[in-house]
Amino acid sequence: MRLSKLFLTVVIVVWISSCSKSSSGPTSAEGNWTYTTPDNKISVSFALVKNSSGSLDIQNSALKIEGVAYNSAAQISGVALPVIGSIRINANDAKAIYPYDIQFTNGSVSSDFKKINVPDAEYTYSGGSNTLKAIVVGRP
Protein backbone atom coordinates (compact mmCIF):
# COMPACT_ATOMS: atom_id res chain seq x y z
CA MET A 1 0.00 0.00 0.00
CA ARG A 2 2.77 2.40 0.93
CA LEU A 3 4.64 1.71 -2.34
CA SER A 4 1.54 2.45 -4.43
CA LYS A 5 1.04 5.80 -2.62
CA LEU A 6 4.68 6.70 -3.30
CA PHE A 7 4.30 5.75 -6.96
CA LEU A 8 1.09 7.78 -7.26
CA THR A 9 2.79 10.79 -5.63
CA VAL A 10 5.72 10.59 -8.05
CA VAL A 11 3.37 10.34 -11.05
CA ILE A 12 1.38 13.38 -9.88
CA VAL A 13 4.53 15.46 -9.28
CA VAL A 14 5.92 14.60 -12.72
CA TRP A 15 2.57 15.38 -14.37
CA ILE A 16 2.22 18.73 -12.61
CA SER A 17 5.79 19.79 -13.40
CA SER A 18 5.35 18.90 -17.08
CA CYS A 19 2.11 20.88 -17.30
CA SER A 20 3.61 24.02 -15.81
CA LYS A 21 6.39 24.38 -18.39
CA SER A 22 5.82 27.19 -20.85
CA SER A 23 7.24 27.56 -24.32
CA SER A 24 10.43 29.57 -24.24
CA GLY A 25 10.64 30.28 -27.95
CA PRO A 26 11.95 28.64 -31.08
CA THR A 27 14.29 25.66 -30.80
CA SER A 28 15.74 25.71 -34.32
CA ALA A 29 16.27 27.99 -37.30
CA GLU A 30 13.18 26.48 -38.91
CA GLY A 31 10.19 28.78 -38.96
CA ASN A 32 9.04 32.18 -40.15
CA TRP A 33 11.32 35.21 -40.60
CA THR A 34 10.79 38.81 -41.67
CA TYR A 35 12.74 41.95 -42.50
CA THR A 36 11.90 45.50 -43.66
CA THR A 37 14.50 47.93 -44.98
CA PRO A 38 14.97 51.10 -42.89
CA ASP A 39 13.41 53.23 -45.67
CA ASN A 40 10.40 50.86 -45.97
CA LYS A 41 11.11 50.32 -49.68
CA ILE A 42 11.25 46.51 -49.42
CA SER A 43 9.93 44.04 -46.87
CA VAL A 44 10.24 40.30 -47.06
CA SER A 45 8.96 37.31 -45.17
CA PHE A 46 9.87 33.69 -45.62
CA ALA A 47 9.96 30.34 -43.88
CA LEU A 48 13.07 28.25 -43.38
CA VAL A 49 12.24 24.54 -43.58
CA LYS A 50 14.36 21.41 -43.42
CA ASN A 51 14.59 19.51 -46.69
CA SER A 52 15.02 15.77 -47.17
CA SER A 53 18.81 16.03 -46.92
CA GLY A 54 18.59 17.87 -43.58
CA SER A 55 19.65 21.26 -44.93
CA LEU A 56 17.45 24.36 -45.03
CA ASP A 57 15.27 25.57 -47.89
CA ILE A 58 13.08 28.65 -48.23
CA GLN A 59 9.32 28.36 -48.62
CA ASN A 60 6.48 30.86 -48.66
CA SER A 61 8.65 33.82 -49.58
CA ALA A 62 6.78 37.10 -49.89
CA LEU A 63 8.05 40.43 -51.16
CA LYS A 64 6.46 43.82 -50.70
CA ILE A 65 7.70 46.91 -52.46
CA GLU A 66 6.53 50.09 -50.74
CA GLY A 67 3.64 48.09 -49.29
CA VAL A 68 2.52 46.40 -52.54
CA ALA A 69 2.80 42.59 -52.60
CA TYR A 70 4.55 40.90 -55.52
CA ASN A 71 5.13 37.26 -56.40
CA SER A 72 8.64 36.29 -55.44
CA ALA A 73 11.32 33.66 -55.80
CA ALA A 74 13.96 32.80 -53.23
CA GLN A 75 17.35 31.12 -53.08
CA ILE A 76 19.46 30.02 -50.13
CA SER A 77 23.05 28.81 -50.23
CA GLY A 78 26.04 28.13 -48.02
CA VAL A 79 24.05 26.72 -45.10
CA ALA A 80 26.24 25.33 -42.30
CA LEU A 81 24.32 26.41 -39.20
CA PRO A 82 24.60 28.72 -37.50
CA VAL A 83 25.94 30.32 -40.71
CA ILE A 84 23.77 30.99 -43.75
CA GLY A 85 25.98 32.14 -46.61
CA SER A 86 23.30 33.84 -48.66
CA ILE A 87 19.54 34.37 -48.84
CA ARG A 88 18.16 36.17 -51.88
CA ILE A 89 14.52 37.06 -52.44
CA ASN A 90 13.53 38.72 -55.69
CA ALA A 91 10.38 39.86 -57.44
CA ASN A 92 9.12 37.23 -59.86
CA ASP A 93 6.10 39.11 -61.12
CA ALA A 94 5.20 40.75 -64.45
CA LYS A 95 3.86 43.82 -62.63
CA ALA A 96 7.34 44.45 -61.15
CA ILE A 97 8.89 46.48 -63.95
CA TYR A 98 12.26 46.86 -62.20
CA PRO A 99 14.55 44.10 -60.88
CA TYR A 100 13.54 44.29 -57.20
CA ASP A 101 15.44 42.04 -54.83
CA ILE A 102 17.18 41.80 -51.48
CA GLN A 103 20.19 39.66 -50.63
CA PHE A 104 21.44 38.85 -47.14
CA THR A 105 25.09 37.74 -47.03
CA ASN A 106 26.98 35.81 -44.33
CA GLY A 107 24.09 35.62 -41.88
CA SER A 108 24.44 33.92 -38.52
CA VAL A 109 21.49 32.47 -36.63
CA SER A 110 21.56 33.46 -32.96
CA SER A 111 21.81 30.74 -30.30
CA ASP A 112 18.23 31.47 -29.15
CA PHE A 113 16.99 31.14 -32.78
CA LYS A 114 15.21 34.50 -32.60
CA LYS A 115 17.30 36.46 -35.10
CA ILE A 116 19.65 36.15 -38.01
CA ASN A 117 22.47 38.67 -37.68
CA VAL A 118 23.52 39.84 -41.14
CA PRO A 119 26.70 41.90 -41.55
CA ASP A 120 26.00 42.74 -45.20
CA ALA A 121 22.88 43.06 -47.31
CA GLU A 122 21.96 44.80 -50.54
CA TYR A 123 18.63 45.59 -52.10
CA THR A 124 17.64 46.82 -55.53
CA TYR A 125 14.54 48.85 -56.33
CA SER A 126 13.44 51.37 -58.96
CA GLY A 127 15.73 54.09 -57.58
CA GLY A 128 18.89 51.97 -57.68
CA SER A 129 20.48 49.83 -55.03
CA ASN A 130 21.39 50.32 -51.40
CA THR A 131 23.87 48.55 -49.17
CA LEU A 132 22.95 47.70 -45.60
CA LYS A 133 25.32 46.88 -42.75
CA ALA A 134 24.77 45.03 -39.47
CA ILE A 135 21.06 44.27 -39.81
CA VAL A 136 18.82 41.76 -38.06
CA VAL A 137 16.28 39.48 -39.71
CA GLY A 138 13.76 38.57 -37.02
CA ARG A 139 10.80 36.40 -36.19
CA PRO A 140 7.39 37.91 -36.89
Angle of CA points 128, 78, 74, to nearest 5°: 50
Half-sphere CA count of 71, side-chain side, radius 13 A: 5
Residue 109's Cβ-count burial label (10 Å; 0-12, 13-18, 19+) is buried
Give the distance between the most distant pair of CA atoms in the chain.
81
In the sheet that holds 128-138, the strands lie side by side as: 68-70, 56-65, 42-50, 31-36, 128-138, 115-125, 101-109, 83-91, 72-80
CB 86 within 8 A of CB 103: yes
Q: What is the pLDDT along the chain (140 residues), one digit of tens a residue?
A: 555 554 444 444 444 454 544 558 899 999 999 999 999 999 999 999 999 998 999 999 999 999 999 999 999 999 999 999 999 999 999 999 899 999 999 999 999 999 999 999 999 998 899 999 999 999 99
What pLDDT score was predicted for residue 10? Answer: 43
Q: Counting every residue, how long is the chain?
A: 140
